[in-house]
Amino acid sequence: MSGPDRGAWRLIAARDFWVRLRERSFLISTLLNLGVISVLVLLRASGGFAGATSFELGVLGGADVVAVANGAASLGGEDLPVRVHPYPDGAAADAALNDGAVDAVLTETQLYGLESVDGRLEALVQTSAHQAAVDAILAEHHVSEAEREKAAEPAPLALGALRPAPPDRQDNAAVAFVGVLLLYGQLFGYGMWVATGVIEEKASRIVEMLLSSIRPQQLLAGKIIGIGVLGLAQLITIAGFAIGMALATGADFVPTTAIWAALLVIGWFVLGYAFYASLFAAAGSLVSRMEELQNVIVPINLTILVSFIISVGSLQDPNSTLAVVASILPVSAALAMPVRIVLGVATGWQIALSLALLIGSAVALVPVGARLYSGAVLRTGSRVKLRDAWSAA
């Protein structure tokens, strides 16, 4: 090939990049992503996804009730602060509950909330009440104060775990969820752009002009790379924005986790896109009109959607057989594996195997996609059958 010919794909890529950058849908999707990220970061900064981290407890009753409430507060300690607010009568307490000034109200006989009582608060209060009752009985039997205090030792059992989850699993799960959501949106959205870009060229018949100057493989490569680079640039923008925002709002994120997760998402986007893009292009080349796109694209979209659902499910149980298999199979690895990596459960060999399979199959799919594309892209009219596209090239 002569000098400038090698650069043909670059011209194609540059055009696809700039044309789509200027499209309104790109602007909208960028703004939408930034908006969602902002909301999530702000939510996390003001309390996080794990629910309230401190409680307001209303108290209605005499000194013994207040003592139970204070007991719950001291059990909660600094990890789960409980602040006690005495109220003179039931009406005032209920009003406070209605206003959201308190999370629950404790009386002589019950603990009640507005709709329900947070399980952690309940555990603190129940334990405190139980201790108070036991303490009263022991006092009646003239057990010494020192012994009673020993009996009230809050945690007689040491806690352990065979395979301890990282202490920041909750935060990591949140980061992983945002990451997999982003990945899903990018893989799906930019894959669709490849498919519609192919159809546009087919429908407007410009493709015959293009193919009289360059080879179908160059056209395909340029399109996939141009659109992919745009997707990558958008992803980097969003990730950078998210991290910057997290730092600015002083969210108690471990910033290294967020940066690490962002890099993972970006890396796995490149791999996943490389895997799916040539399939999207091949599917697009089979039809001549936008309206027919849905028919050929369903299998690919469904694959990505199912991978996404499995990945979200694996946030709960990242070591289930389904989660492990999905993170290794190339069709779903791009979404399922980064989740398990962020959660810290993917082992070295799993990551290595997953990467090897995904990269290998992406490389193998490019010529397959290119061949289908070459065989089908000039055939306008009715939908081209896969077998015909394959044998025509």
Residues interacting with another protein, by CB under 8 A? Answer: 1-2, 4-5, 8, 11-12, 15, 19, 200-201, 204-215, 378, 380
Beta carbon nearer to another protein, 8 or 173: 8
> By C-beta, is 120 or 383 nearer to another protein?
383
* Three-state secondary-structure class, residue 104: strand
Shortest distance, CB of residue 384 to another protein, whole angstroms?
13
Q: Which is nearer to another protein, 9 or 184 (CB)?
A: 9
User: Token pair 């979209």 is at which residue?
Assistant: 301
Least separation in angstroms between CB 31 and another protein: 22
Largest CA distance in the chain: 102
Q: Which is nearer to another protein, 75 or 194 (CB)?
A: 194
**74 vs 213 by CB, closer to another protein:** 213
Closer residue to another protein, CB minimum distance, 197 or 369: 197
**Nearest CA to 17 among 208, 223, 206, 166?**
223
Tokens at residue 57, please? 């407890």
Cα–Cα distance, 245 to 250 (Å, whole number): 8
Other Cβ atoms closer than 10 A to 35: 10
For the CB of residue 343, give the shortest distance to another protein in the complex, in Å.
Answer: 44
Q: What is the C-alpha to C-alpha distance for residues 190 and 229, in angstroms, rounded to an integer?
A: 10
The string over 351-370, giving b where at least 16 C-beta atoms fall within 10 Å of a residue's C-beta and e elsewhere, is beebbebbeebbeebbeebb
Give me the least distance between CB of 203 and another protein, in Å please.
9
Helices (H), the chain: 3-6, 8-21, 24-45, 63-76, 90-99, 119-140, 145-151, 169-203, 206-211, 216-248, 255-285, 293-313, 321-328, 330-342, 348-376, 386-392
111-113 sheet: strands from edge to edge: 82-86, 55-59, 104-106, 111-113
Between the alpha carbon of residue 30 and those of residues 16, 20, 24, 26, 259, the distances in Å are 17, 12, 10, 6, 20
Nearer to another protein, 5 or 108 (CB): 5
- C-beta of 19: minimal distance to another protein in Å? 8
CB 209, min distance to another protein, A = 5
Nearer to another protein, 1 or 159 (CB): 1
Q: What is the DSSP string of 131-171?
A: HHHHHHHHHHTT--HHHHHHHT-S--S----SSPPPTTHHH
Least distance from another protein to the Cβ atom of residue 187, Å: 26
Choice between 150 and 205, CB closer to another protein: 205
Burial of 175 (0-12, 13-18, 19+ CB in 10 A): buried
- Residue among 98 and 213 whose Cβ is closer to another protein: 213
Report in angstroms how near the CB of residue 205 gets to another protein at its nearest: 3
CB of 198 to another protein, least distance (A): 13
Nearest-approach distance from CB 374 to another protein, in angstroms = 10
Instruction: Give the tokens for residue 22.
Output: 């200027």
Q: Please state, in angstroms and rounded to a whole number, the distance separating the CA atoms of residues 184 and 94.
A: 45
Q: Give the number of other CB atoms < 10 A from CB of residue 82.
A: 24
- Are 68 and 129 a contacting pair, CB within 8 Å? yes
